[in-house]
A = this chain, B = another copy of it.
């Protein structure tokens, strides 16, 4: 069983996440649907809509009954939705037809499936938030530890000017903080009960429909949407979008780590490093690769969640299935990425000497901007720019250090020691870290 590596035992230690997996098994799905059916009966019993005794019986049974998900496959196959088979199996298992008739009273299949999904997404939101919090804490510590560790910034794949490793880490952290804010903002929009019945107007619940809905929401600690959401899937699309954004921000960390751990750069190490069978010196950046992979994967899946917004009429079997095909996978991809990110963060280690060596290896070229700004105090900036550019080209051609060439081409009283000290050219990198 491995069309998805996420569902493969063989891939479980690479793409596995025990905690998230527990939310998305068939059993967890069935368990959550039973919880919804049981709670629904309970509130309907309390409201006198169904006999109290039946309600209590159903509710208790819903917690005790054992229903094999695989046993629902036939019903799922013929109906395209598991609830009719689940309700049948539940009724049979109760062995009390006088009570069992009140199961699923006034609900439609989609109400049960959607609410059961939301219950598990609530748990998932908790996992996300807790992991993000931990990751932010770890990375913040790392940023502070590396506050003044000077390294080359790199823009458009080229070395630009000096910065610090702390400042780099800081720009990894702040998107994650914003993602936590986003998750808290979408929470109430996402965590809503569904109970509007076949055509989304509570017809089968009688005049008390909205009260039952409110009571079920209260029982399940969910909110109530302004209008039924069978065909208004923006809550799910929004959640999936933020989830993909989280994975994307982690992918950026992974990509940076891959680039910085290239043998020729070798400024940063993180994670264990996967061995090669025939190249003992290699340390493949397995976890960093996973971050980028999950980011690209979720970025590819997110479109399908947006397409599912075109949910036709009152309920739509196609767009609903489109969600089902990608959302659980997006959740595991996000979970896996966070696990790997945490490991990488905890083991993140800079090599300050190598960082400095890489800067020095540019023969002073990386300090060109600093030199230009220093010279601009003695001449118009365009002139300074032109002078530095010419010297930079000469240096590159002759293999000389830029400093030497500059000294030979200007008598401006620049403090060259100061200019060519990378630590003096990192701007407010330290302050950036301090804002965390």
Contact = CB atoms under 8 A, between A and B. Distances in A.
A73 B91 CA distance: 40
Contact of A245 (B210, B234, B318): B234
B245 A171 contact: no
A177 B229 CA distance: 13
Given A237-B248, A280-B385, A69 B10 contact: yes
A179 B101 contact: no
A178 B4 CA distance: 29
Contacts of A108: 277-278
A380 B167 contact: no
Contact of A280 (B82, B203, B259, B368): B368
Contact of A368 (B281, B311, B329): B281
A385 B47 CA distance: 23
Given A6-B4, A263-B362, A306 B248 contact: yes
B427 A204 contact: yes
For this chain, the copies found in one complex come to 4
Interface in A101-124: 101-102, 104-105, 108-109
A384 to B, nearest CB: 9
A301 B157 CA distance: 25
A182 interface: yes
A238 B231 contact: no
A78 B82 CA distance: 38
Given A161-B199, A285-B157, A313-B259, A427 B209 contact: yes
A126 interface: no
Given A199-B162, A204-B278, A259-B312, A322 B297 contact: yes
Nearest to A1: B7
A360 interface: no
A325 B5 CA distance: 6
Interface in A43-66: none
26 contacts: A1-B25, A2-B7, A2-B25, A3-B4, A13-B77, A13-B78, A97-B380, A108-B278, A109-B277, A153-B199, A153-B314, A155-B315, A157-B261, A157-B312, A161-B198, A174-B227, A178-B189, A198-B369, A204-B373, A241-B302, A252-B309, A255-B310, A281-B365, A293-B322, A297-B325, A302-B302
